[in-house]
Structure 1
């Protein structure tokens, strides 16, 4: 396949065995882990866990990514469409509240077909992504995805280029989130579990409180209170090679989180604030689906 799925539109050839271009991934889906996941927002994980499938690869290049082995190194196990659907069935059978697809953008061509089938247990489908999506491609998911869980990492082009190699990220992610909301409408909760809607995540980076405030300003201006949920994340953990980025070589300070929380409250944005207890490599999953296993 000649791939233009993500905003980079590199036109790379992705054969079943080999991938070129930005993501360097084959056309066959690769999965790094599938499990009941209890570390998402309460409306996603609930009491039983989200039925989470972590996909290998990523369309961004975040220097601080804590999932580097799968996002940058593409670790994972290739699965057929039938095997992927069987994972959905297994997770539903284990009592998952939903089927959550994490970093799935590079496999939209596969998921369009798999999600066209009845979802086991009639569970809501959650699209957990970095926010870097083409609106034209998102439209192909309408009616197949119930909950969107995008990041809004930056609204400043310079930061997006410096940390994620994507200067077009702010405009692209904002347009994508607007499309996501068009598809789902306002949040719909049932017994505390999100059945339909959008949850926008923002990871506070050390020394970037002003950017967190700019992100919240946009959310507040774009959506009426309660139309979407917002997740202010404090879990930043220095990972990977940050030698060129000394400002990222620490966790965020309690004062930064406190100031961000107060700003969120002042804007009347509804959602969640992650505590600093979530910081640390102990919260990074073991990527247990590997080739030859």
Structure 2
């Protein structure tokens, strides 16, 4: 049936709505997912071949027979004796295994990060926030196979978002063996390597293909500071080398649509009282030498712990306290506590100073509490 005359006439009339101008069309933007948003993710340890897995097992045993896992290069056969870390070869000593809700929002999510807190450490930070775990051999012993079974419990019972290995630098071979064992058991969670950055390149190379998220802590910038507060030489050069190697393996931090991190590097820096100048150098170096798209957590929760604020050695014995050169100490000196310069909480102005330096250097992806109460991408 033909259309009525008045309808046909209306269709022939030009539209009364103005056509969009070319300039407005040119301003339209197509919003695509950023390169750090993943549709799905397969853990890296599922992508290596059985041949490569066997090679890594062999390399892990070799490291234990002549330990070079950190720059201390103890070189000991850990089947016979221990080095600085005080941990042998056949087992690891674990203090706590549980879902943890004290990590970054993108790691802990709703169900927590499946954290494994290893006892022992290859550093001796005088301000260590986990002093009772890292500086003492408290906990229970697990073989690599038993450790892998615990990974499965964190996945199946805890429903955690990842396996978070806390202070693992000195037990990398056992960690490698545990991951490969858990792979055979059906583990499918990303592995987080939560480190002080005092790792050897050989250790990072052994982990290649097994670690999904590197969570390094870049502590201090000055060698003088590292020797005094971390009890380690050449910490800064080691951290630089380690973080570059980590980033070369997994790149910048990536997420799935639920806001949970799956792959990449997230660098932490704990701002310390009076050390904000070192923090500014660290963030500047990250931006200029690794990536301006690096995810960074500038942390403000420093609080005197471990040896900081304790009475000076020999303070109870008047004859034992001396000034440099053997001169008897004055009453004022005897009253002072150890590491007095960092015996206070960090000031928020010091934290802000480091944050400004990071922004000026070009960093822009910061870990902060999400204002909407969800996850922070």
TM-score interval, normalised by the smaller of the two chains: 0.7 to 0.9
Matches within 5 A, 1:54-73: 54-73=117-136
2:13 corresponds to which residue? none
Instruction: Tell me the residue number matched to 1:116.
Output: 180
Q: Are 1:204 and 2:267 an aligned pair? A: no
State which of 245, 259, 263 in structure 1 corresponds to 2:357: 263
Alignment counterpart, residue 140 of structure 1, candidates 165, 186, 206: 206
Equivalences for 1:7-156 in 2 at 5 Å? 7-15=71-79, 19-27=81-89, 28-93=91-156, 94-117=158-181, 118=183, 120-156=186-222
Find the counterpart in structure 2 of residue 245 from structure 1: 339
Q: State whether residues 118 and 166 of structure 2, in contact with CA within 8 Å, keep that contact through their aligned partners in structure 1.
A: yes
Q: TM-score, normalised by structure 2?
A: 0.69
Please report the TM-score for the alignment, with normalisation by the length of structure 1.
Answer: 0.88
| Aligned residues of 1:92 and 1:120 also touching (Cα < 8 A) | no
1:49/1:248 CA distance change after superposition, 3 Å: same
SS at match of 2:193: strand
* Local SS of the residue matching 1:30: strand
Q: Aligned pair 1:170/2:236, yes or no?
A: yes
Instruction: Tell me which stretches of 4 or more aligned residues in structure 1 moved more than 4 Å.
Output: none
Which has the larger share of strand? 1
> Structure 1 stretches of 5 or more lacking a match?
275-293
Q: What is the CA RMSD across the aligned residues, in angstroms? A: 1.6
- 2:296 aligns with 230
Indicate whether 1:254 and 2:348 are aligned. yes
Within 2, Cα distance between the matches of 1:233 and 1:239? 16
Query: Radius of gyration: which is bigger?
Result: 2
Partner of 1:282: none
Unaligned runs of 5+ in 2: 1-64, 309-336, 370-377
- The answer for the alignment partner of 2:367 in structure 1 is 272
Alpha-carbon contact 1:134-1:176 (below 8 Å) kept: yes
May I ask how many residue pairs the two structures share in their alignment? 271
- SS of structure 1 residue aligned to 2:307: coil
The answer on whether the counterparts of 1:261 and 1:273 sit within 8 Å (CA) in structure 2 is no
**In structure 1, how many angstroms separate the alpha carbons of the residues matched to 2:186 and 2:236?**
35
Per mean C-alpha deviation after superposition, the further-off stretch among 254-263 and 147-156 is 254-263
SS in 2 for 1:12: coil
Please state whether the residue corresponding to 1:176 is helix, strand or coil.
helix
